Amino acid sequence: MRINKEGTGTLLIVGIILAGLDFIFCTYLPVWMYAILVPASIIFYGFFVQFFRNPKRVLTIDENAIVSPADGKVVVIEKVFEPEYLKTDCMQVSIFMSPLNVHLNRVPINGNVEFYKYHKGKYLVAFHPKSSLLNERNTTVITHKSGKKLLMRQIAGAVARRICFYLKEGQQVSQGEELGFIKFGSRCDLFLPLGTDIKVVMGQDVKGGMDVIARW
């Protein structure tokens, strides 16, 4: 199993702490107690390993498709006004990532990074209606060769406390490449031009880099 680079330091620190605790368990506790606690610490460490996993995938490459930027469940499909950059009515599609999902985010379309901005904010639960505007978040706008623009937000949640972002303004990006990482559960919002053909439904589970969210 491949591990995302964002997890290297975390896994090392957690491993050292758990190894120290296991040593204490085995040294000072009765056999029946450490026989329970040591396996529990291994399971706990396994949770961190699976969270930072970066599985190999066959990516969907399609110039006319908007591919899911994240693993998770579709929790919003609605027409909204996007006030930050596009300043127009859009179709919003939001994907909620639970702690059990892969948390690597991927570029949904080929294009140019026209805009990027980081916002400090609150840590409301990621499915809260106002989390897209009030929570800590990254806003990215990618312009397709057709001139159409896609706005994506990485949003921190009640547990997530760090959003990582790998791209820069002016950079040419390719569909499926690594865009960033959100630690410990959150959400991604996509804002698409009206008329975009949405291909997902509410409650649908999607995989980043593989499932088609919409078509131009």
Q: Count structural domains, the chain.
A: 2
Higher model confidence: residue 1 or residue 117?
117
Candidate from 28-37, 99-108, 134-143 with smallest mean pLDDT: 28-37
Q: How many residues does the chain have?
A: 216
- Closest by alpha carbon to 98, among 48, 40, 159? 159
| Angle 92-215-63 from CA coordinates, rounded to 5° | 125
Range of the domain at 45: 5-51
Per-residue pLDDT tens digits for 205-214: 999 999 999 9
Does residue 59 belong to any structural domain of this protein? Answer: no
Per-residue pLDDT tens digits for 136-164: 889 999 999 999 999 999 988 655 557 88
Task: Say whether 132 is catalytic.
Answer: no
CA 201 to chain centroid: 19
H or E element in which residue 79 lies: strand 72-82
H or E element in which residue 24 lies: helix 8-28
The dihedrals phi and psi of 135, each to the nearest 5 degrees, come to -80, 165
pTM (whole model) above 0.95: no
Same domain? 199 vs 95 = yes
Does residue 60 belong to any structural domain of this protein? Answer: no
The single-letter DSSP state of residue 61 is -
Same domain? 108 vs 196 = yes
Candidate from 52-66, 103-117, 132-146, 189-203 with smallest mean pLDDT: 132-146
Q: How confident is the model at residue 35 (pLDDT cuts 50, 70, 90)?
A: confident
Token pair in block for residue 117: 């901005």
Same domain? 99 vs 190 = yes
- The per-residue pLDDT for 86 is 96
Q: How confident is the model at residue 77 (pLDDT cuts 50, 70, 90)?
A: very high
Query: What does the alpha-carbon distance between residue 130 and residue 132 come to, in Å, rounded to a whole number?
Result: 5
Per-residue pLDDT tens digits for 160-200: 557 888 999 999 999 999 998 887 668 899 999 999 999 99
Same domain? 42 vs 83 = no
The single-letter DSSP state of residue 31 is H
Does residue 144 belong to any structural domain of this protein? Answer: yes
Q: Which of 41, 94, 131, 186 is catalytic?
A: 186
Same domain? 12 vs 73 = no
By the 8 A CB rule, do 10 and 103 touch?
Answer: no
